[in-house]
């Protein structure tokens, strides 16, 4: 069974710092990996989708990388801002069969201090 | 486009009551699914549908019922609510099972069973 782990569980940094969030998964048979942002009491907003054949995706100050063979992904946030404070979730879509759907990590709760 | 719309946003039920959580999407997506989010557990798949008239179970289906009579709607029914079903419920959709375009999530329904 696929398992997704996110480290750290929580992170607090001063505004302006560059930071890296980590995601690891146990089964490399995936179609893709998706990073989401969740604000308190809100839904999930998709940030980046990386296909299994890709190494990275970029959107603005966000860059996500994928190393499928080692089962790892990172989300790099450049020049962090207080508005980046949220919980960041990563999820993988398995290609090995079984129920259709995403397997999620538990998230990294990020606080950017003004 | 409204995307994925969930109603209600909040609900309090008494143990044993039944209710239906509504989910509608206006993107003509074939795939729809329901997740629950619990503290320390991450999001888990309850039920999913690959098209009108087709549904299947996810990781945690017990106590829930679904049907898919139209492409747009995918309601989740709680047959006899239990305190263990206190959670935040998210509906998600995708045009093709998330392989190429990922998933779009609704804003969630926060359910409390007392």
- The predicted-structure confidence for B59-71, as pLDDT tens digits, reads as follows 999 999 999 999 9
List the single residue in A with minimal CA-CA distance to B102. Answer: A49
Q: What percent of chain A lies above the pLDDT cut of 90?
A: 89
- Predicted confidence (pLDDT) at residue A113 exceeds the cutoff of 70: yes
Q: Is B5 on the interface with A (CB under 8 A)?
A: no
CA distance B69 to B54: 9
* B52-101 confidence digits (pLDDT tens): 999 999 999 999 999 999 999 999 999 999 999 999 999 999 988 888 88
Mean pLDDT, residues B38-57: 93
List the single residue in A with minimal CA-CA distance to B34. Answer: A101
- What is the reported pLDDT for B42? 87
* A1-25 confidence digits (pLDDT tens): 899 999 999 999 999 999 999 999 9
B6 contact partners, CB below 8 Å, separation of at least 6: B21, B22, B23, B89, B90, B91, B106, B107, B108, B109
- Predicted confidence (pLDDT) at residue A98 exceeds the cutoff of 60: no
Is A19 within 8 Å of A11 (Cβ atoms)? Answer: yes
* First-last CA distance in chain B: 36
Mean pLDDT, residues B44-59: 94
* B13-32 confidence digits (pLDDT tens): 999 999 999 999 999 999 99
- State whether B45 and A102 contact (CB < 8 Å): yes
- What is the reported pLDDT for A25? 97
- State whether B59 and A99 contact (CB < 8 Å): yes
Tokens 């995708």: give the residue.
B94
A64 contact partners, CB below 8 Å, separation of at least 6: A33, A35, A47, A48, A50, A56, A57, A58, A73, A74, A75, A76
Of B41, B48, B105, the CB nearest to A101: B48
Mean pLDDT, residues A59-84: 97
Range 44-63 of A in CB contact (< 8 A) with B: 44-46, 49, 51
């Amino acid at each position: 069974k696929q398992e997704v782990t996110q480290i750290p569980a929580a992170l607090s940094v001063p505004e302006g710092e560059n930071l890296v969030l980590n995601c690891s998964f146990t089964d490399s048979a995936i179609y893709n990996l998706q990073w989401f942002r969740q604000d308190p009491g809100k839904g999930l907003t998709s940030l980046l989708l990386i296909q299994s054949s890709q190494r990275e995706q970029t959107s603005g100050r966000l860059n996500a990388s994928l190393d499928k063979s080692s089962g790892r992904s990172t989300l790099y946030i450049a020049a962090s801002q207080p508005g980046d404070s949220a919980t960041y979730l990563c999820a993988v879509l398995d290609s090995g069969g079984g129920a259709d759907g995403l397997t999620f990590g538990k998230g990294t709760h990020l606080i950017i201090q003004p | 486009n409204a995307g994925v719309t969930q109603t209600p946003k909040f609900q309090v039920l008494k143990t044993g009551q039944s209710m239906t959580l509504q989910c509608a999407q206006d993107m003509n997506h074939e795939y729809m699914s329901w997740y629950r989010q619990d503290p320390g557990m991450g999001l888990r798949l309850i039920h999913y549908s690959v098209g009108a008239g087709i549904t299947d179970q996810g990781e945690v289906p017990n106590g829930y019922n679904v049907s898919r009579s139209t492409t747009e709607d995918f309601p989740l029914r709680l047959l006899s609510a239990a305190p263990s079903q206190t959670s935040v419920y998210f509906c998600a959709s995708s045009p093709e099972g998330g392989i190429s375009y990922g998933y779009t999530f609704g804003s969630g329904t926060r359910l409390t069973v007392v």
